Structure 1
Amino acid sequence: MKKILVTGATGQLGSELSALSSSYPQYEWIFADRTKISLDDFDKLSSQLNEIKPDIIFNCGAYTAVDKAESEKELAFKINHLAVELIAKYSTEKKVKLIHISTDYVFDGSSSIALYEESNTNPINVYGESKLAGEIACLKENPESIIIRTSWVYSNFGNNFVKTMQRLMQEREEINVVNDQIGSPTYAADLAQAMIDIVESPKWIPGIYNYSNEGEISWYEFALSIKEFGNYNCKVGGIPSSSYPTVAKRPNFSLLDKAKIKASYNLDIPNYKESLRKIFI
């Protein structure tokens, strides 16, 4: 029985993989949180990997506090770059299949057309820089690995935009949401299924892939969809990013082109509204 190790087990994606795992009993699933896999302690990480002896690694663990990363650069790079390098090196030595999760934040947001895997990277914040460094190290140490860049992740689990909007729309009469950052959300359950589909596929095609739900929207439009499905009475206004300053800059445009992953693995990617509706069922 093949053993799948999932890092970042308590995060949104790890939790969705956990929810799906019972449908795939042909694998032995190991869901590792910080107590089982130490992404910030490399001696420990090495011995943990050697102890677990996985056949497949889903590296969903990451430092994801985008604003905090600006003042915790060393820790962000340790987890998002150096730990990835170590995992990739281990996976090469032990011939382990590795799927590593990355982000649309490797781009600067200056594009006006959907971004391809080969589009120029140019991160504008520390989080994006650390994730790009992780991608480069991953492919250098293990050219056979698969990297999936995703964006605007939400889920029934953890903290995310959808949950925040649901709460605010019930608490307040009026909220404002930025309307000049464009992309597409990713329902973590859809991405989790896509990862399993890749492992289940008879082919393994290494490299970088993009994955998000279909549709091109702003955060404001996303909020309007949440209002619609939740049937909330809260008034939602659109504002420019300049009216909502954050510590770390966000890319203004990070819509991902998914043609490559759809063609390579015959994936059917749902529209964002189709997936968002599931949160409200």
Structure 2
Amino acid sequence: MRVLVTGGSGLVGMAIQHVVKEERGGYEGEEWIFLSSKDANLMSMKETRDVFRKHQPTHVIHLAAMVGGLFKNLKCNLDFWRNNIHINDNVLQAAHEVGVVKVVSCLSTCIFPDKTTYPINETMIHNGPPHESNFGYAYAKRMLDVHNRAYFEQHGHCYTAVIPTNVFGPHDNYSIEDGHVVPGLIHKTYIAKKEGKPLVVWGSGTPKRQFIYSLDLARLFLWVLREYPEVDPIILSVGEEDEVSIKEAADTVVQALDFKALKETCEWFVANYDTARK
């Protein structure tokens, strides 16, 4: 079993690398290859083919994507659509050409319809348009599900996808403008504390979100890779009872007490402030 991980230097990729190497989550006889953008431009079919032919993977975890926060999405919906469609098509086609047995791709909760009912489940992905703020990225991610079904129907491949809730952890993008909720809050809090200024959080703080620690998600990815046999995507999330409001998330960041995973993330950011993406 030779596992190729695209986007191996990102938040989830680094978490999988940690679980495989530091926690010995990799099984005996498995070989793991973690790709970054330096290894191949996955928007190029030629470079994607070349790197797949070089490593000849039997399994793929596909994490690579053009990603960004709210403001970047608002400005660049076309770029998010085109670039992610190119990346996903190239990766799945290259996997098919070298005989990859299984591909597990990473989707996003933003693929769900903007107007929906709760609780959300996997059958609701295509029930209506996503939120207009990031429709380019959301539709490109949705199409991975269509891609997977088409490869199964035409070639019998077990290509599937996971839909994680909001991920946080070491090696995240801590940009205030282009990062996601938790890393953005951590960076804002860090600066407010450093400058002795009040912490200002956008919005009312009342919307609720579900969060998952990147190392927990990494362990679930390994389970999906080895044990989950379906083409249908699977949501990886905490229970609805574990939803927290943005205000509660901000308060937890400020305190960073009695919440070990978040405390580790805060400590990692402070220790790696000079080199963290921001």
Q: TM-score range by the shorter chain?
A: 0.7 to 0.9
Q: 2:159, 2:110 → 1: CA distance?
A: 20
Q: 1:227, 1:8 → 2: CA distance?
A: 30
SS in 2 for 1:99: strand
- Aligned twin of 1:162: 182
| Aligned-partner residue type, residue 61 of structure 1 | A
Summarize the Cα distance change of 1:91–1:7 in structure 2 as closer, same or farther, 3 Å threshold.
same
- Aligned twin of 2:31: 28
Determine whether 1:77 maps to 2:102.
no
CA contact 2:164–2:235 (8 Å) conserved in 1: yes
Q: How does 1:252-263 map to 2 (within 5 A)?
A: none
Number of aligned residue pairs: give it. 238
Q: 2:158, 2:182 → 1: CA distance?
A: 35
Q: CA deviation at 1:60?
A: 0.7
Summarize the Cα distance change of 1:200–1:208 in structure 2 as closer, same or farther, 3 Å threshold.
closer
Greater share of residues in strand: 1
Determine whether 1:181 maps to 2:188.
no
- Aligned twin of 1:244: none
Q: How does 1:219-230 map to 2 (within 5 A)?
A: 219-229=246-256
- Aligned twin of 2:18: 19
CA contact 2:167–2:211 (8 Å) conserved in 1: yes
Determine whether 1:207 maps to 2:207.
no
- Aligned twin of 2:4: 5
Choose from 187, 196, 214 the match for 2:222.
196
Stretch moving more, 146-155 or 75-84:
75-84
Q: 1:138, 1:84 → 2: CA distance?
A: 10
CA contact 2:81–2:140 (8 Å) conserved in 1: yes
Q: 1:98, 1:148 → 2: CA distance?
A: 11
Q: CA deviation at 1:140?
A: 1.7
| Aligned-partner residue type, residue 95 of structure 2 | S
Q: 1:141, 1:59 → 2: CA distance?
A: 15
Q: CA RMSD in A?
A: 2.5
Query: Aligned residues: percent identity?
Result: 16
Summarize the Cα distance change of 1:61–1:279 in structure 2 as closer, same or farther, 3 Å threshold.
same
Q: 1:274, 1:121 → 2: CA distance?
A: 38
Q: 2:167, 2:55 → 1: CA distance?
A: 28
- Aligned twin of 2:245: 218
Q: 1:274, 1:112 → 2: CA distance?
A: 32
Give unmatched runs, 5+ long, in structure 1.
Answer: 232-272
- Aligned twin of 1:137: 147
Q: How does 1:58-73 map to 2 (within 5 A)?
A: 58-66=61-69, 67-73=71-77
Choose from 164, 168, 174 the match for 1:150.
164
Q: 2:266, 2:189 → 1: CA distance?
A: 14
Greater share of residues in helix: 2
Q: Give the TM-score normalised by the residue count of structure 1.
A: 0.75
Give unmatched runs, 5+ long, in structure 2.
Answer: 175-180, 193-197, 268-278
Deviation by residue 1:64-88 (Cα, 9 ceiling, x = unmatched)? 1243344444542344223212322
Q: 2:237, 2:148 → 1: CA distance?
A: 21
Summarize the Cα distance change of 1:277–1:212 in structure 2 as closer, same or farther, 3 Å threshold.
farther
Q: CA deviation at 1:197?
A: 1.8
Determine whether 1:122 maps to 2:132.
no
Q: 2:73, 2:85 → 1: CA distance?
A: 13
Q: CA deviation at 1:104?
A: 0.8
Deviation by residue 1:13-36 (Cα, 9 ceiling, x = unmatched)? 011011112111522111100122
Determine whether 1:46 maps to 2:49.
yes
| Aligned-partner residue type, residue 148 of structure 1 | V
SS in 1 for 2:68: coil
Summarize the Cα distance change of 1:4–1:107 in structure 2 as closer, same or farther, 3 Å threshold.
same
Q: 1:155, 1:81 → 2: CA distance?
A: 27
Deviation by residue 1:251-280 (Cα, 9 ceiling, x = unmatched)? xxxxxxxxxxxxxxxxxxxxxx56435535
Determine whether 1:110 maps to 2:115.
yes
CA contact 1:84–1:138 (8 Å) conserved in 2: no
- Aligned twin of 2:272: none
SS in 2 for 1:65: coil
